Amino acid sequence: MVIAIIPACFCTRAISKSNCFHKKGHLADCNISNFTFMAIFGSFQILLSQIPDFHELSWLSIVAAIMSFGYASIGIGLSIAKIAERGHHVETGLTGLIVGVDETGMQKLWNTFQAIGNIAFAYAFSMDTIKSSPPENKVMKKSAFTGILITTFFYALCGLLGYEAFGNKAPGNFLTGFGFYEPFWLVDIGNLFIIIHLVGAYQVFAQPIFSIVESWGNKRWPQSKFMTKEYHVNIPLVGIWRMNMFRLIWRTMYVIFTTVIAIILPFFNSIVGLLGAISFFPLTVYFPTEMYLKQAKVPKYSSIWIGMKLLSGFCLIVTLVAAVGSIVGIITDLKTSTLPF
């Protein structure tokens, strides 16, 4: 959830800076604090988090998916336009930045590990909104294959064309890192799409956590009115809101906590890499493969069983090196960053 707050803030700030650069020139001092934008985003998430049923937010997942296509397409289009510019030339290489010239060998190693975490995060996804009919195994197989295929296509285009457009000086995010200044309105639209996408992304990842904690609380204290009683509140133009005191307090505190963490550690690439590393192995690799082995009753030490275990072990190594690289990146960022408190 922290990873949704940080880029959303950067995108909001990028819109303000883009308009400032357009009016005052690209060399103008248009620096803006992250704190205000993160607080606004967190406040909005507090409101959305009070919706009790995750399936009532299914429309948000659809909107978020549409937005992701939108900003990826804008980024690809702007990259192609920059590549096509007359006299375009940037430094590129098969291994990226040159060791000893652009960075040290250790920096190269840690940045590579961090990049692996970023890639891992791109392939972490949730299937929680899938319905039971048609059968989940068929829907999940088709959805996962289609989703991964489309994701790979768009992300590969963004990465390859973005690198060709900016070379070794490519920003971590070419929409928020001002790889592009003009047309400023198109850059603004791209960033707006990202913000809308991240509003949905926060809820997609947060709602299952809310559900787990609240289900545990209801089972642990079934007689507690604080845990179980709902109050129906009529909100004009919205409808009936089913308010529960525990849900209200717990979800609000959770959003506040994640927002504060994002304010303290506003480091996009490093945080993406770390969270990608943490979430990739257990959620995308380990649990799905273990469930498959048990459900399909795959014989122990069979070729499929060994293959699954080797895949799981390899991905665990990827997760560990990505986490180490990202932690080093966060430490490096902290040394040069000024905390807002």
For the chain of 341 residues, list the mean pLDDT of each consecutive stretch of 10.
77 84 80 81 89 68 82 88 84 78 80 78 57 60 80 86 84 67 83 86 82 88 85 78 87 92 77 76 82 86 92 88 84 70 49
Lookup result for tokens 């559900």? 211
β strands within 194-265, DSSP E:
231-235, 239-243
Distance between CA atoms of 293 and 304, rounded to whole angstroms? 9
CB-based contacts of 53, cutoff 8 Å, min separation 6: none
Task: Say what the pLDDT of residue 323 is.
Answer: 85
User: Among 81, 252, 247, 326, which residue's Cα sits nearest to residue 180?
Assistant: 81
pLDDT tens-digit series, residues 240-275 = 778 889 999 999 999 999 898 888 877 777 777 777
Structural tokens at position 152: 């790979």
Task: Say what the pLDDT of residue 130 is.
Answer: 45
Q: Are 56 and 203 a contacting pair, CB within 8 Å?
A: no
3-class state of residue 221 by DSSP = coil
Q: Are 281 and 319 a contacting pair, CB within 8 Å?
A: yes
Q: Are 49 and 153 a contacting pair, CB within 8 Å?
A: no
Structural tokens at position 168: 């070794």
| Neighbouring C-beta atoms of residue 327, cutoff 10 Å | 18
Task: Say what the pLDDT of residue 180 is.
Answer: 60
Q: Are 274 and 326 a contacting pair, CB within 8 Å?
A: yes
Buried b / exposed e along 241-262 (16+ C-beta atoms within 10 A): eeebebbeebbbebbeebbbeb
Task: Say what the pLDDT of residue 313 is.
Answer: 92
Structural tokens at position 267: 């480091």
Task: Say what the pLDDT of residue 93 is.
Answer: 79
Q: What are the Cα distances from residue 211, in Å, to 14, 189, 290?
A: 34, 33, 23
Secondary structure element (H or E) that encloses residue 60, with its range: helix 58-83
CB-based contacts of 157, cutoff 8 Å, min separation 6: 72, 76
What torsion, rounded to 10 degrees, do the Cα atoms 78, 81, 87, 92 define? 50
Alpha-helical (H) ranges within 235-302 are 245-264, 268-279, 287-295
